[in-house]
């Protein structure tokens, strides 16, 4: 771990990721809170969540193949440029119009979520090329801690700023974080060793469906691994859907202020940071299966607390458990993928699961219409059942993944 932290490339990547994550995190925190406090805000938030999910689902197959065919550094920089341009444009538009209408808030949310979604697969593919295999666990854990520190900062800043300063000033700050992140990542030395020769003139590149099928064919030959990777992704999917529920739950079920919403974000980040620090060493000594089972069980316990107790302390503790469970399962899953998926198909395998993620997320967000009849707790009850089903799937896939992940992590 110390060797990783001495690497100036990793240092720059950490700082850049932290700044970009703070910017996108504040946006993703502030916009839902502002939306749900407007007339028909729940429906507007649900609508833009579904639109964003479907749009990104359509784009991601081509994007995954593009990552496999181009420099991963270029992909990272393109994401930062998109975040800066989109956020700055919306800030200036808000200043020019003198207000932010609902459609503007929805557009800003779309831009922030698209930055987050496009950035992660590029970063994942990038780190696979710049560090040796024996450092994957440590790096995944450090990146999880770094990302959650950023989200904790974003949650605290968002809770402090959203009701106190104009939205355009928040957006200008967010745009500056993307610009700084672009500048710092541009200085990272990198060689795109995964690139192959261009196809002969006149030979068509594979289409989006072909790219998805390429990932599927690789996974089809490894059914237990495919099931394990799909089920261990479920806590992350559920958290993404919960991001729709949390501001509504805090505002309309607990009748609390943005401070509690921000406290929940901080609790989630603290739990995830603990997982990021603890899981790499556990994975060096144990197997993927018990680590993921423990993390998913912890995540389910957090969901159960939200269902059973509706007081601020229980909410904060529940988000802490959910943060640990989500991050822990993601670190174990990500480490397993880095070891078992070849670099030349990493983008397409990753995009296969991104499509799976987006399709299921779209269906679950649409299912959250139950809150219009029975309130936010009903939405969490649906997610609780899905999480239990995922845990059952992980147990079924046990035989295909019970192998040591890597060499021990050095002190």
pLDDT value, residue 137: 64
Chain segment 119-145, per-residue pLDDT in tens: 877 887 787 777 776 676 677 667 767
pLDDT value, residue 197: 47
Chain segment 7-62, per-residue pLDDT in tens: 777 788 888 888 888 887 787 778 888 887 788 877 888 888 888 878 887 787 67
Taking phi over 0 as left and psi of -120 to 50 as alpha, with beta for the rest, 273 belongs to: alpha
Q: Are 149 and 18 in contact (CB under 8 A)?
A: yes
Low-confidence ranges of the chain (pLDDT < 70): 1-5, 61, 64, 133-134, 136-137, 140-141, 144, 148, 192-212, 280-288, 344, 347, 399-411
How many whole angstroms separate alpha carbon 32 and alpha carbon 159?
A: 12
The vertex-60 CA angle with 180 and 340, nearest 5°, equals: 90
How many whole angstroms separate alpha carbon 256 and alpha carbon 163?
A: 13
pLDDT value, residue 378: 92
pLDDT value, residue 46: 83
- Domains assigned to the chain: 7-187+209-401 (1.20.1250.20)
pLDDT value, residue 79: 86
Token code pair at residue 322: 């959910």
DSSP 162: T
pLDDT value, residue 406: 43
Burial 370-398 (b: 16+ CB within 10 A, else e): ebeeeebbbbbebbbebbeebbebbeebb
pLDDT value, residue 411: 36
Q: Dihedrals φ, ψ of 378, to 5°?
A: -65, -35
pLDDT value, residue 392: 93
């Amino acid at each position: 771990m110390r060797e990783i932290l001495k690497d100036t490339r990793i240092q720059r990547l950490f700082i850049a990721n932290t700044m970009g994550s703070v910017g996108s995190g504040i946006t993703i925190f502030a916009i839902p809170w502002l939306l749900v406090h407007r007339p028909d805000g729940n429906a507007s938030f649900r609508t833009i969540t579904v639109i964003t999910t479907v749009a990104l689902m359509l784009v991601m197959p081509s994007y995954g193949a593009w990552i496999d065919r181009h420099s991963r550094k270029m992909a990272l920089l393109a994401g930062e440029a998109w975040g800066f341009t989109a956020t700055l444009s919306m800030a200036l538009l808000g200043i020019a119009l003198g207000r932010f209408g609902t459609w503007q808030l929805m557009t800003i949310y779309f831009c922030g979520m698209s930055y987050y979604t496009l950035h992660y697969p590029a970063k994942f593919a990038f780190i696979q090329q710049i560090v040796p295999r024996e450092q994957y666990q440590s790096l995944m854990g450090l990146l999880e801690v770094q990302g959650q520190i950023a989200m904790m900062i974003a949650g605290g800043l968002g809770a402090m700023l959203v009701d106190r300063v104009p939205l355009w000033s928040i957006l200008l700050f967010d745009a500056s974080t993307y610009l700084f992140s672009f500048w710092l990542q541009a200085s990272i030395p990198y060689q795109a060793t995964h690139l192959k020769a261009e196809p002969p003139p006149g030979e068509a590149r594979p289409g989006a469906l072909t790219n998805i099928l390429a990932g599927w064919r690789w996974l089809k030959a490894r059914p237990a691994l495919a099931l394990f990777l799909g089920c261990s992704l479920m806590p992350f999917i559920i958290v993404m859907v919960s991001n729709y529920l949390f501001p509504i739950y805090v505002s309309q079920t607990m009748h609390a202020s943005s401070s509690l919403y921000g406290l929940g974000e901080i609790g989630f980040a603290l739990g995830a940071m603990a997982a990021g620090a603890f899981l790499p060493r556990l994975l060096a000594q144990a197997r993927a299966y018990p680590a993921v089972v423990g993390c998913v069980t912890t995540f389910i316990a957090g969901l159960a607390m939200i269902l059973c107790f509706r007081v601020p302390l229980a909410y904060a503790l529940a988000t802490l458990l959910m943060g640990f469970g989500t991050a822990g399962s993601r670190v174990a899953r990500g480490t397993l993928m880095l070891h078992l998926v070849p670099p030349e198909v990493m983008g397409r395998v990753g995009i296969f699961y991104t499509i799976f993620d987006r399709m299921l997320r779209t269906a679950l967000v649409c299912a959250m219409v139950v809150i219009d009849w029975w309130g936010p707790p009903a939405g969490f009850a649906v997610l609780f059942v899905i999480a239990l089903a995922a845990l059952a799937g992980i147990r079924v896939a046990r035989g295909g993944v019970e192998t040591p992940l890597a060499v021990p992590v050095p002190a």
